[in-house]
């Protein structure tokens, strides 16, 4: 049963009131005993559905930990249903993005199978195919999150969480960020020096890329206050027909937990799922406000205008804000989030 409430809000900048609007609300749409609602959070407007990946848990009747992929669909009355997807071709899935009429997942991989980028169709029978599973012969650590540039290139993060959690072999690569061109098959390291590179997104004009470093949380769930819980910003420059990242700087530091998933709205405000909920910064790095969610927010995505979907491990929330608020990702990909098609 959906439970709608006025969310607890912290306002630090005047612009946040404009983002929230006059009738903001937070609805608990789905809940589960297991951490089903963890990562990915990929909204497909033509299906009015969201694909999410779970955190690791031991499913009923099994002995080993697993990650399951779920499709969350909105019914005509506004309620939501969940369908668990049979997707053995996506080993230990994590982040994801709309791609080629389906979903491009970051697959962390397993002890027996390389991780990488895996495309999956959005409808039954949910075919999957490998897009990329190595860097010049070296297996990736455990790819975490992914974004697609308007030039078609795919950018993704690759922290070594998998090895720390015992699902991947010892790393053979540093904790890095990659750019892959599907047309030329060129794969390049574009950023390094991270503890654990995690979430990634572009600004609406694609001149800035934001990357979260979540080294504060170790693979076993423990925390180390000496390590990063930071959003870094880079300028995207073009030289010799290639894109490079330069002018690395601290954009923001999460005061509660880690900044995990990260996305921009169409005017450049930066949103991130943190330990206390959804945090929002101006393009200049000033904290505008927070929507507090008990237990925090791991990942999230924009839906229709004035709508965000928040993942809270065991809970799936729908946040309503001002009607003009839209996600830069869907608009940048030419996807009309306000139109439901079949």
Looking up residue 280, the CATH number of its domain turns out to be 2.120.10.30
Structure token digits, residue 19? 């983002």
Q: Which of 67-71, 134-138, 243-247, 331-335 has the lowest mean pLDDT?
A: 331-335
| Range 223-239 average pLDDT | 97
What total number of domains does the chain contain? 1
| Range 65-89 average pLDDT | 96
Asked whether residue 198 is domain-assigned, the answer is: yes
- What percent of the chain is predicted at pLDDT more than 90? 91
Q: What share of the chain is helix, strand, coil (3-state, %, to 5)?
A: 5, 45, 50
| Range 1-27 average pLDDT | 89
| Range 152-158 average pLDDT | 98
Q: Burial level of 188, CB count in 10 A (0-12/13-18/19+)?
A: middle
Asked whether residue 81 is domain-assigned, the answer is: yes
Q: How confident is the model at residue 339 (pLDDT cuts 50, 70, 90)?
A: low
Asked whether residue 108 is domain-assigned, the answer is: yes
Q: What is the DSSP letter of 101?
A: T
284 backbone dihedrals φ, ψ, rounded to 5°: -90, 0
| Range 307-331 average pLDDT | 96
pLDDT for the residue 340: 45
| Range 331-335 average pLDDT | 74
pLDDT, tens digit, 9 for 90 and up, residues 30-75: 999 999 999 999 999 999 999 999 999 999 889 999 999 999 999 9
Mean pLDDT, the chain, rounded, equals 95
Using DSSP's 3-state secondary structure scheme, residue 240 falls into coil
Asked whether residue 340 is domain-assigned, the answer is: no
Asked whether residue 251 is domain-assigned, the answer is: yes
Strand partners, 73: 49, 81
pLDDT for the residue 342: 31
Asked whether residue 261 is domain-assigned, the answer is: yes
| Range 84-89 average pLDDT | 93
pLDDT, tens digit, 9 for 90 and up, residues 281-299: 999 999 999 999 999 999 9
DSSP labels, 144-206? --EEE-TTS-EEEEE-SHHHHTTSSPPPSS-SEEEEEETTTTEEEEEE---SSEEEEEE-TTS
Asked whether residue 22 is domain-assigned, the answer is: yes
pLDDT, tens digit, 9 for 90 and up, residues 111-137: 999 999 999 999 999 999 999 999 999
DSSP-derived pairing of the beta strands 8-11 and 39-44: unpaired
Asked whether residue 226 is domain-assigned, the answer is: yes
Q: Which domain holds residue 55?
A: 3-332
**Sheet with 299-302, edge to edge strand ranges:** 3-5, 25-31, 315-320, 307-311, 299-302
């Amino acid at each position: 049963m959906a439970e709608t409430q006025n969310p607890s809000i912290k306002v630090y900048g005047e612009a946040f009131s404009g983002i929230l609007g006059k009738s903001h609300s937070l609805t608990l749409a789905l809940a589960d005993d297991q951490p089903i609602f963890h990562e990915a959070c990929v909204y497909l407007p033509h299906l009015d559905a969201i694909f999410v990946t779970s955190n690791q848990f031991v499913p009923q009747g099994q002995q080993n930990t697993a990650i399951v992929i779920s499709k969350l669909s909105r019914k005509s009355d506004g309620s939501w249903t969940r369908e668990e997807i049979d997707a053995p071709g996506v080993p230990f899935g994590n982040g994801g993005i709309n791609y080629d009429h389906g979903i491009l997942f970051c697959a962390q991989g397993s002890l027996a199978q390389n991780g990488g980028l895996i495309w999956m169709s959005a409808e039954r029978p949910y075919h999957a195919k490998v897009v990329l599973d190595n860097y010049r012969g070296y297996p990736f650590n455990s790819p975490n999150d992914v974004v697609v540039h308007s030039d078609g290139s795919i950018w993704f993060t690759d922290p070594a969480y998998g090895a720390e959690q015992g699902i991947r072999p010892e790393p053979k690569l540093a904790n890095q960020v990659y750019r892959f061109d599907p047309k030329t098959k060129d794969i390049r390291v574009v950023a390094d020096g991270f503890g654990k590179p995690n979430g990634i997104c572009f600004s609406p004009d694609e001149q800035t890329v934001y990357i979260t470093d979540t080294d504060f949380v170790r693979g076993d769930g423990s925390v180390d206050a000496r390590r990063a819980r930071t959003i870094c910003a880079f300028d995207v420059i073009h030289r010799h027909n290639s894109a490079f990242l330069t002018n690395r700087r601290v954009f923001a530091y999460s005061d509660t937990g880690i900044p995990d998933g990260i996305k921009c709205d169409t005017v450049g405000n930066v949103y991130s799922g943190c330990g206390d909920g959804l945090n929002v910064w101006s393009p200049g790095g000033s904290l505008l406000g927070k929507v507090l969610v008990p237990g925090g927010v791991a990942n999230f995505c924009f839906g229709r205008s004035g709508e965000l979907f928040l993942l809270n491990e065991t809970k799936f929330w729908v946040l309503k804000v001002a009607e003009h608020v839209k996600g830069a990702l869907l608009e940048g990909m030419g996807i009309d989030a306000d139109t439901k098609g079949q």
